[in-house]
């Protein structure tokens, strides 16, 4: 290969590597507005099963949870929780054992529903993934699926 095509190939490869490293992002955290930190902590720990992690503020209005892949869920107690809540705006967590999760919901009488809103039902997406929807103490929708 002559010097000119070799230089062009090298430039193309370098540009591709550089562009791909700039285009890569990762989720650092998701923040959720809650009206009562203690009831929300109980929900995210006991119902969803998240592990609380160290939070730096220690101000009594924050709690942080590990949600995998180096990302965290931050719940923040603050006044003026939004009153219009849409299922389209939701958090989604994938569970390794969704059947066990559903049994936990059923044993604690925690309501869940399918995407169309059928109580106690599971939606099966076109790609075969099973999903249910639950709400946190402030009405925020969470999708739970088995795409683990």
* pTM for this model (two decimals): 0.73
Q: Please enumerate in sequence order all residues whose Cβ is within 8 A of that of 108, keeping only pairs 6 or more positions apart, or say none.
A: 47
Average pLDDT, stretch 12-40? 72
Question: Residue 90's beta-bridge partner residues?
Answer: 141
Lowest-confidence segment of 17-21, 34-38, 50-54 by average pLDDT: 17-21
Q: Is residue 76 part of a domain?
A: yes
Give residue 52's domain range: 29-145
Residue 2 domain flag: no
Mean pLDDT check: name the lowest of 7-21, 28-42, 67-81, 97-111.
Answer: 7-21
Contacting residues for 121 by C-beta, under 8 A, at least 6 apart: 113, 114, 132
**Structural domain tally of the chain?**
1
Model confidence pLDDT, tens digit, residues 116-125: 999 999 999 9
Inside any domain, residue 89? yes
Give the C-alpha separation, 110 to 133, whole Å: 11
Domain assignment of residue 48, yes or no:
yes
pLDDT at 85: 84
Residue 88 maps to a domain: yes
Mean pLDDT, residues 14-29 taken together: 60
In a domain, 19, yes or no: no
DSSP string, 15-66: HHHHHHHHH-----EEEEEES-HHHHHHIIIIIS-PEEE--S--SSSEEEEE
SS3 content of the chain, % helix, strand, coil (to 5): 30, 30, 45
Does residue 9 belong to any structural domain of this protein?
no
Residue-wise pLDDT tens digits, 73-115? 999 999 887 777 889 889 999 999 999 999 999 999 999 999 9
Asked if residue 80 is part of any domain, the answer here is yes
């Amino acid at each position: 290969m002559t010097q000119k095509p070799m230089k062009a190939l090298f430039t193309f490869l370098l540009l591709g590597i550089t562009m791909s490293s700039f285009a890569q992002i990762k989720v650092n955290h998701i923040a959720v507005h809650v009206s009562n930190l203690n009831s929300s902590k109980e929900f995210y720990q006991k119902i969803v099963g998240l592990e609380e992690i160290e939070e730096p503020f220690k101000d009594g209005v924050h709690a942080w949870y590990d949600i995998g892949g180096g990302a965290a869920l931050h719940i923040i107690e603050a006044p003026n929780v939004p009153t219009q809540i849409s299922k389209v705006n939701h958090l989604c967590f994938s569970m390794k054992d969704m059947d066990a999760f559903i049994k936990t919901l059923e044993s604690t009488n925690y309501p869940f529903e399918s995407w169309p809103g059928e109580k106690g039902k599971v939606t099966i997406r076109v790609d075969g993934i099973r999903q249910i929807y639950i709400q946190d103490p402030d009405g925020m929708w969470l999708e739970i699926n088995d795409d683990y």
